[in-house]
Structure 1
Amino acid sequence: MFQDLHWLRQTPNWVWYSFVPGFGGLAICYAGHQSNIRSWIGWGAGFTLAALAVSSSANFGLIVWIAQIVTAFSLKKRYLIKTAPRGLLVPATATNAEELANLRGKIDINECTKDDLVRVLGLPIVYANDIESLQNEGYIFTYAEELSEIAGVPASHVRRIAPMICFSYNYQKEASFTWKRLNILSVEELTASGLDRVVAEKIVTERQIKGEYKSVIDVKRRTGLPFDSYRHIC
């Protein structure tokens, strides 16, 4: 754990190189190349060109110089996370996960990349692929336990990384996802979609009594039905 925290607290040499007047932006280009983030390369090139363009003006040159330094420090944490040796930042316990989250921030399961899932959260690639597929289809995760229920991530791993994750909400993205059909379709329509009639009736009856479902997990909790009984419609 000490090694994890030490890695995230260090300041890479390229950050100090950003202090070089005129050409400090090239340090940001280097960081972008090393972390494979193309936008950083563009920013660094932009700072360098801007510095050369205003080299005759001390005031504007100072503004560009300060801006590139502030940018370098703001990118430092993400750079360290992106370039950390594989497995270094994966928490061994929930306590370690909480300490890491306090230091580097939480990972948004609904917005993160597959690289974040594997490199930062330590998920095997098979689970990362499934989560990425659900993200692309518009699924909105709302609870940590959904990672087990929906993507099959072992519950022990979910408990360990729980302090490191959060869940954003995007209504427009969720509205187009197929599980929402459980709030719309009738018993006959659900049956026609492949659900067993008993399952369809229970889903619709619960919906009529207590209102729309908020998530796939909400369906499971309220109906008591196993997810496998309606998985194919989600």
Structure 2
Amino acid sequence: MNDLPPITARSLSHISDWVFDLDNTLYPRECNLFAQIDLKITNYVMDVTQLEFVAARDLQKSYYRDFGTTLNGLMQQHEIDPDHFLKTVHAIDYSPVEAHPDLVAAIRALPGRKFILTNGDTGHARSVLSKLGGDDLFEHVHDIRAMTYVPKPHREAYDGFFALHGIDPTKAVMFDDLEKNLVVPHDVGMSTVQVVAGESYAHEQVEAWELGRAAGSHVHHVTDNLAQFLRKLP
């Protein structure tokens, strides 16, 4: 897949700060790593609410959609301990994430600073980066704790990140798999890239809206191969 037609695509030659989501962005959705987390979240919701699996899953997805993360919904509606939640749902097998030297080299070659902005936590991010082979790629991992648990796509998540690192949004680009997480970046002047799964990808744990490919003006580029996209930049 190529990026959007040139009439809507923005050049990235002016970028000095490169901001990447983590899950389903720096590793392909097809490896189904997040599916492990997703199932653990369902089990967590079951424990908190005493709902059966199907009802708990419906609630989980509604919180994910409406609050930005299931964690945010659980904190607001059930006052759970976020540290306990994060420790529980990230106790997973990271072996599905394979080393990706092409992606690591492409990110390393980018001019300027590189950051991760994730609704996950730093420990999870470091585990993924270790598997990819890019432990030292990023200047900082700005995680859900640094966001004070207010996640993307809420404006506060981005504003705190910009302020902490002195980022001028007009000279930055955001890569994310969820198009809704690119609305605020577009609104504040960032360039945006949606990283999507291949068109044939399907999984029983993934709802259609999670795989949606944006048609709106807030997404400037779309790719299903991040390493290739970055290598093609001037």
Scaled by the length of structure 2, the TM-score of the pair is 0.24
Q: Quick check: which one's strand share is greater?
A: 2
Point out which structure has higher relative CO (alpha carbons under 8 A, 6+ apart): 2
| Higher radius of gyration, 1 or 2 | 1
Q: Quick check: which one's helix share is greater?
A: 1
